[in-house]
Amino acid sequence: MAKRKITYEVVDLFCGIGGLSYGLKCQGMKILAGFDLDYTCQYAYETNTGGKFYYRDVKTISGDEINKLYSQKKNVIKVLAGCAPCQPFSSYAFKNKEKDSEKYDLLYEFGRLVREVQPDIVTMENVTQIINFKLKPVLQDFVDELKSLGYFVDVQKIFCPDYGIPQTRRRIVLVASKLGQITIIPPTHDKENYVTVRETIGHLPSLLSGASDPSDSLHRAIALTPINMRRIQATPYGGSWHDWPDELVLACHKKVGGKTYGSVYGRMEWDKPAPTMTTQCTGLGNGRFGHPEQHRAISAREAALIQTFPQSYKFFPDEQQVSITKASRYIGNAVPPKLGEILAMSIINHIVNFDKEI
């Protein structure tokens, strides 16, 4: 009997600039649409994923609206994907409960839409802190909701270098299927072949602080103040503020609590994965975001490559009018496309094995 031709159709909630959708697309899935409350993400999302961008609050979306986006053809696997904003689950948010209180329920909205849409496959990525979120058991409630609807669920905490992503990001990933048992594919890398900073950004032209590459407007380094230039010059390879002479150390780092932030103002190392990219990853004082050798913080292009966005990815309609602050936010908030590919491979592997059994 001839194999049936499967088409995967994806709707992405909380889509941002399309990191997750792009990764799914790279493995052959058709991206139908993405929903997000940041309207400035529209250009990047539509240009790179081919899906239509909807500027909508997920709380106002109905399952009927989403179901109308799917083709309803035979042999179509309906995938509902999403990464609810992670800020409310961060350790900072635990101390600032009022700041993101309206975002706590976004995963419940995701669950509501799963209930209304009844997709074949559900997938999600989020920060590991969601496991121990103290205000509500949001992750467990989401898993319980899926199981009550008849989904088989696999939730794993992954270390991104194990999957070829060159940063020490740890994330919770979830795949769920109406069809049968499903699981995330096993790691593709180990310590012997982790993708490194050198492999990822070592080919880029050198930059001075405040300079940009004339052929790549995203490869621009934020200008350092004179005191921060002295600090980066005093930071050895792989070092941090702990290596500075006393007169360069910030007062806050001399306090007991400040001493725990050992990586701040640090340099990356060539032959290791980078630290986790954040929305402030192009600022020297926001983490270990100093270039391994050059006296500057990493550029937005370097951050994008570390997040596994290809150099061809379009972030802005006018490449000469690039906001590094906005680019850093886009990049830091995104799901690494490579992780999207891992989720796609897990889903496709599941469907192929399911097809063999019927």
Residues 270 and 176 in one domain: no
CATH of the domain at 71: 3.40.50.150
Residues 80 and 178 in one domain: yes
Residues 212 and 256 in one domain: yes
Residues 276 and 203 in one domain: yes
Range of the structural domain that residue 261 is part of: 197-333
> What pLDDT sits at residue 356?
67
Q: How far apart are CA 25 and CA 47, in angstroms?
A: 12
Would 2 be classed as within a structural domain?
no
> Does residue 271 sit in helix, strand or coil?
coil
Q: Cα separations (Å) of 273 from 36, 199, 280, 283, 291?
A: 30, 9, 18, 18, 13
Band of the pLDDT at 273, cuts 50, 70, 90?
Answer: very high
Token digits of residue 60? 């106002």
> What pLDDT sits at residue 97?
47
* pLDDT of 227 above 90: yes
Active site amino acids: 86
Residues 85 and 32 in one domain: yes
Would 104 be classed as within a structural domain?
yes
pLDDT digits over 129-187, tens only?
A: 888 766 678 899 999 999 999 999 999 999 999 999 999 999 999 999 999 999 999 99
Q: At what angle do helices 138-148 and 106-117 cross, to 10 degrees?
A: 10
Residues 211 and 115 in one domain: no
Residues 133 and 277 in one domain: no
**Number of folded domains in the chain?**
2
pLDDT digits over 95-117, tens only?
A: 444 445 555 688 999 999 999 99
**Helices within the chain (DSSP H only):** 19-26, 42-49, 63-67, 91-95, 106-117, 138-148, 197-201, 226-233, 251-254, 300-306, 324-333, 337-357
Would 226 be classed as within a structural domain?
yes
Residues 96 and 124 in one domain: yes
> Does residue 297 sit in helix, strand or coil?
strand
Question: Which amino acid makes up residue 153?
Answer: V
Would 1 be classed as within a structural domain?
no
